[in-house]
Structure 1
Amino acid sequence: MEVFEPFLAGIDNPDHRDRVEEIFNWVKTRFPNLMPKIAWNQPMFTDHDTFIIGFSVAKQHMAVAPEEAGIHRFSEEIVQAGYDHTKELMRIRWDRPMDFALLERMIEFNLLDKQDCSTFWRK
């Protein structure tokens, strides 16, 4: 996943960098058909040239973006997991564990929901 190396190198905190790299590796291992990509300066995974899941980092949290449909579909589970969310992304504070089961369900939802999608974003 060389495509993510410059992004990872830009994360100053080594613990945050290691955690993000762990999550990227988990996604690539669990979903080997997804393509890693950097677009709009953000790391993401795509399938048949359509957006599936994206990530970003901030001082206090990591953000996971499954598009608005994914946030809407999983909003209760996001809150139950102890995460905050907006209409487009969920925020995982650095001191909170990653709920990999929730991340897996989000990715699976997008793969299924967008299997016939011919655009990068949902319309």
Structure 2
Amino acid sequence: MKDINEFFSTISEPEHRKRAEELFDWTMKSYPQFNVVIKWNQPMFTDHGTFIIAYSSSKKHLSIAPETVAISAFKEAIEKSGYQHTDNIIKITWDQPIDFSLLKKIIDYNIQEKIDYTKFWRE
């Protein structure tokens, strides 16, 4: 996979693709300083060369991957929003609304926590 359009083309259900595009558009409008890179067939948003958040899709849900530290920090809010999660991803089923205010808090947390970080991933 070489670009974001190729990622969107892998989402066969039109309504799912539209929701994923909405999420990407919101992210780029909210954080115009982000760069999008494709790694492991997944689009990832970076700030000053460090990973901030990634999105992917499956048949049943959108996956939000902000790194384990951020999921741990927002575990209660994630669960309060009705989302399932693992240590590595937040699952938003296709029929659940996207909690953009929570997503903003998670992204802002990662930006602040990694402001002086020079590596891609946290150690």
TM-score (norm 1): 0.97
Match of 1:8, SS state, is helix
Query: Structure 2, unaligned stretches of length 5 or more?
Result: none
Aligned counterparts, 1:5-24, within 5 A: 5-24=5-24
2:120 maps to 120
Count of residues paired in the alignment: 122
Runs of 4+ in 1 over 6 A off after TM superposition: none
1:84 maps to 84
Instruction: Give the CA deviation at 1:10.
Output: 1.1
1:31 maps to 31
How many Å separate the matches in 2 of 1:81 and 1:71? 13
Match of 1:78, SS state, is helix
Deviations 1:59-116 (A, max 9, x none): 1101000000110000000000000000011000001000000010011000000011
Query: Structure 1, unaligned stretches of length 5 or more?
Result: none
Q: Which amino acid aligns with 1:94?
A: W
Deviations 1:23-71 (A, max 9, x none): 0000000000011111110011001111000011111101000000110
Whether 1:104 aligns to 2:104 is yes
TM-score (norm 2): 0.97
Equivalent pairs: percent with the same residue? 44
Q: Which amino acid aligns with 2:97?
A: P
Deviations 1:2-41 (A, max 9, x none): 9310000111000000000000000000000011111110
Q: CA RMSD in A?
A: 1.0
How many Å separate the matches in 2 of 1:115 and 1:25? 23
How many Å separate the matches in 2 of 1:46 and 1:3? 15
